[in-house]
Amino acid sequence: MSRPIRVALAGNPNAGKTTLFNLLTGSRQHVANYPGVTVESREGTFRHRGHEIVVTDLPGTYSLTSYTEEERVARHHLADGAPDLVVQVIDASNLERNLYLAVQIVELGLPLVLAFNMSDLARARGLEFDLPRLSALLGIPIVPTVGHKGQGLAELSDAIVDAATAGHPPRGVPRHYGPDLEAAIGSVEAVLREHAPGAAAGRERWTALKLLENDGELRRRFAHPAVVAEVEARQKHLQSLGGDVPEMLIADRRYGFISGACTETVRTTAELRHTASDRIDAVLAHPLLGIPIFLAIMYAVFTVTFTLGGPPMEWLEAGIGALADLVRRAWPEGRADLLRSLIADGILGGVGGVVAFLPNIVLLFASISILEDSGYMARAAFLMDRLMQRVGLHGRSFIPLLVGFGCTVPAILATRTLESRRDRLTTMLVLPLMSCGARLPIYTLLIPAFFPEPARAPVLWLLYLTGIVLAVLGALALRRTLFRGEAEPLVMELPPYRAPTVRSVVTHMAERGWQYLRKAGTVILAISIVLWALTTFPRLPASAAAGLTEEGARSAAMAHSAAGRLGHGLEPVLRPMGFDWRAGTAMIGAFAAKEVFVAQLGIVFAVGNAEEDVESLRARLRKAYTPLQGLCMMLFMLVGTPCMATVAVTRRESGSWRWAIAQFGVLTAIAYALTTAVFQAGRLMGY
């Protein structure tokens, strides 16, 4: 059997590349990460004419100049991955911009086939193509496709097999960029052959072009003094002749060729008229109406994600709880009590709380997939970009921040919509400051316990506002220190509005749901077991529990456990914030999930006296703490100690424990300093 044909699927963002990938490979695909980066690697297979074809869906890129992580991944795969064939998906309605990448792939010397996607949209805009003529000019096979209708797939599959099995695969017609540029390219090529014969073997021309374009990565790779000197001399000479830097001269030559080819092969059948997309944009992208409409749409997404997701989340919680109860009832009494507790309380109790968020994950990414596939998300990013740029964030950062009010975990996953790693990390690190839904049980418990009815809404508003202000300040600080540099402009085409396909939406839902379970669940399982051990050992002697009620025994066992002792040990550190060991113990448990703080307080404050048993937990808290201490508890739980799900997902999405640990440590330090300042200032004021 012949070896598989390895195909790299390339293209500009919004060209319909992923739709074609899904149609070609169907369910025979998997998602992973490229080695060393967090950018997704999507690979799938299909068979055609007796050949197995392995397709790698590369990140969308406009060129082979690597500025963003996605562009670097795409270029490295093309330049170093040695695919048998590149299939570039072309948005036929934006031909000149899309062909710029094709010209660069030809320069790289790779076999190439063009899939002219969205051909129906181009015709609707009044464009007609002489594809045989354009194919001859480029020296590349061209196949018209309409991805969302599945048209042209058989012809594209034929072209892939024909090109990959041909004795002379189509590598495009080499371009001549004029005597001055060609002289500079030839001179740099000669130096490369002499001083770097192995590193640039077979690709001297492409390497010379990129060096003249001042490509940072290749400048570092080919740092031989003779190469550097020749490149700099040729750059100065070209600039003196052309009056512009070489990268602009080269880009002009590429676009000049593209423009000439399009002039010969593209005909306008009628005056380009306003399309349906233009008419929709007149409302949705309106300077005044656009942002309110966007906020309303995102409110709808928020509602779908965290309201419609509520019942299935409760069903999951109930099912996991019933399973845990079944384990407790069915497990025989005896020596295996600890194992029963580990399974019921540690594994099912800890991991179950995270698995319960799965409906939210699925609904969130279904909504985002619909907005992205429809073309609306690009408009939303443009609308919010100016506002977000002022606080050092990208326009797309607004989506994860908004989702963060529901749950930080899916919000961090939503940062994958950001193209720049710098923007992704900045947003990811400040996201826990958005007051998530898991904190609401804490607020619901403590605000009525310490504040009268008229003050409750303002206190809740103050907590949410505090998180937003701290997130803005944190983003500004990160962009001026760790992620210093100019904010990246939002360079994105406004794609035409399209109806999302059910297959695409379902595929995204399934992928994200599985990633959530696989990536977060494994780490959370380990942490859940650790937390279970901390709250279980050392065990309270039976003699110490004699005469206590069940709740009293649980409270005594908690104080006797490592977590309880740790709470006592932390009390001197916690006292400046106004907290005692009981609050500290509850905070340790809240690392598993913020809601656990309430349950832990209930356990710690449980007593065996029947007269006090009738009092609510709020009443007991009111007796133990002042309103100032209650406010400080909420403030600390807002800012500090992100939950273990957040830590796990931050580590996965950032690709490093360093960022996850730094996020946890810095936010906890800020929470400590801020809470201490508020408590001490309140004491001085007599509260």
Which tens digits make up the pLDDT trace of 639-657?
999 988 899 899 988 989 9
For residue 273, give the DSSP letter. -
Number of helices (H), then strands (E), belonging to the chain: the values are 35, 9
CA dist 360 and 28 (Å) reads 26
Phi, psi of 683 (to 5 degrees): -65, -40
pLDDT digits (tens, 9 = 90+) for 586-637: 888 788 778 778 767 766 675 333 333 324 678 889 989 999 999 999 999 9
Q: Determine the Cα–Cα distance for residues 101 and 104; give it in Å rounded to an integer.
A: 5
Q: What number is the average pLDDT over the span 50-71?
A: 84
Using only C-alpha atoms, the chain has a radius of gyration, in whole angstroms, of 30
For the ranges 395-404, 493-502, 595-604, the maximum mean pLDDT occurs at 395-404
Closest CA to 582 of 602, 604, 561, 597: 604
Q: If one looks up domain 179-249 in CATH, what number appears?
A: 1.10.287
Of 456-465, 481-490, 622-631, the range with the lowest mean pLDDT is: 481-490
φ, ψ of residue 283 in degrees (nearest 5): -100, -55
Residues 6+ apart with CB under 8 A from 200: 192, 193, 207, 222
Residue 52, phi then psi, degrees to nearest 5: -85, 130
* DSSP 8-state symbol, 626: -
Q: Which runs of consecutive H residues, i.e. helices, occur in 113-224?
A: 119-124, 131-138, 153-165, 179-195, 204-212, 216-221
pLDDT at 458 over 90: no
Structure tokens at 1: 């059997």
**CATH top-level class of 5-165:** alpha beta
Residues 6+ apart with CB under 8 A from 441: 594, 595, 597, 598
Q: To which residue do tokens 């695969």 refer?
A: 169
Q: Enter the tokens of residue 68.
A: 């963003």
Measured between alpha carbons, how far is 663 from 641 in angstroms, rounded to an integer?
A: 9
Cα dihedral: 505, 506, 512, 513 (round 10):
140
In sequence order, the 6+-apart residues with CB closer than 8 A to the CB of 589 are: 531, 535, 563, 596, 597, 599, 600
Give the residue from 27, 90, 30 showing the smallest Cα distance to 56: 30
- pTM over 0.85? The answer is no
3-state secondary structure labels for all residues of 518-571: HHHHHHHHHHHHHHHHHHHCCCCCHHHHCCCCHHHHHHHHHHHCHHHHHHHHHH
pLDDT in tens, 509-532: 887 777 667 655 665 677 667 767
Cβ neighbours of 41 (radius 10 Å): 17
Residues 349 and 347: their CA atoms lie apart, in Å, by 6
341-350, 425-434, 515-524: least confidently modelled range = 515-524
Cα separation, 607 vs 610, whole angstroms: 8
Helices 657-684 and 644-654, axial angle in degrees (round to 10):
140
Backbone angles phi, psi at 115, to 5 degrees: -100, 105
Contacts of 23 (CB under 8 A, 6+ apart): 147, 150, 153, 503
Percent of the chain as helix, strand, coil, to the nearest 5: 65, 10, 25
DSSP letter at 174? P
Question: What's the pLDDT at 610?
Answer: 32
Residues 41-62 have a mean pLDDT of 90
Instruction: Decide if 507 contacts 515 (C-beta within 8 A).
Output: no
DSSP bridge pairs for 87: 9, 113
CA within 13 Å, CB half, 420: 21
Q: Which helix (H) or strand (E) holds 362?
A: helix 358-374
Question: Is the C-alpha dihedral spanning 673, 674, 675, 679 positive or negative?
Answer: positive
Instruction: Return the higher-pLDDT residue of 349 and 681.
Output: 681
Q: Check: CB of residue 596 under 8 Å from CB of residue 585.
A: no
Q: Which of 274-283, 428-437, 492-501 shows the lowest per-residue confidence on average (mean pLDDT)?
A: 492-501
Q: Is the peptide bond before 400 cis (omega within 30 degrees of 0)?
A: no
Distances (CA, A) of 412 to 425, 431, 432, 646: 9, 7, 9, 8
- What count of residues does the chain have? 687
Q: Tokens 């004419």 identify what position?
A: 49
pLDDT digits (tens, 9 = 90+) for 106-115: 999 999 999 9
pLDDT of residue 140: 92
Question: Which residue from 354, 370, 388 is spatially nearest to 304, judged by alpha carbons?
Answer: 370
Question: Could you give the percent of the chain with pLDDT greater than 70?
Answer: 85
Place of tokens 């030839």: 186
Tokens of residue 114, six digits:
């063009």
Average pLDDT for residues 425-441, to the nearest whole number? 89
Short-list 2, 1, 81, 70, CA closest to 38: 70
Question: For residue 660, what pLDDT band results from cuts at 50, 70 and 90?
Answer: very high
Asked whether the predicted pLDDT for residue 224 surpasses 80, the reply is yes
Token digits for 13? 């963002």
Q: Tell me how far apart the alpha carbons of residues 207 and 258 are, in angstroms, rounded to a whole number.
A: 21
Q: How far is CA 164 from CA 101, 143, 523, 597, in A?
A: 20, 15, 43, 61
Residue 513 in contact with residue 358, Cβ under 8 Å?
yes
- Count of beta carbons in the 10 Å neighbourhood of residue 500: 18
Per-residue model confidence (pLDDT) at position 257: 82
> CB under 8 Å to 375, separation ≥6 — which residues?
14, 277, 494, 495, 496, 497, 498
Write out the residue limits of the CATH 3.40.50.300 domain(s) in the chain.
5-165
CA–CA dist 415, 34 (Å, integer): 17
CATH 1.10.287 occupies which residues in the chain? 179-249
Find, among 169, 226, 172, the residue nearest to 197 by Cα. Answer: 226
Check: CB of residue 415 under 8 Å from CB of residue 400. Answer: yes
Neighbours of 490 (CB within 10 A): 17
Chain-wide mean pLDDT for the chain?
81
Q: Average pLDDT for residues 665-687, to the nearest whole number? A: 95
DSSP string, 432-498: GGS--GGGHHHHHHHHHHHS-HHHHHHHHHHHHHHHHHHHHHHHHHHHHTTT-SPPPP-----PPP-
pLDDT digits (tens, 9 = 90+) for 361-384: 788 778 877 887 787 877 777 777
Amino acid at 302: F
Q: Which residue is it, tokens 């540099």?
A: 485
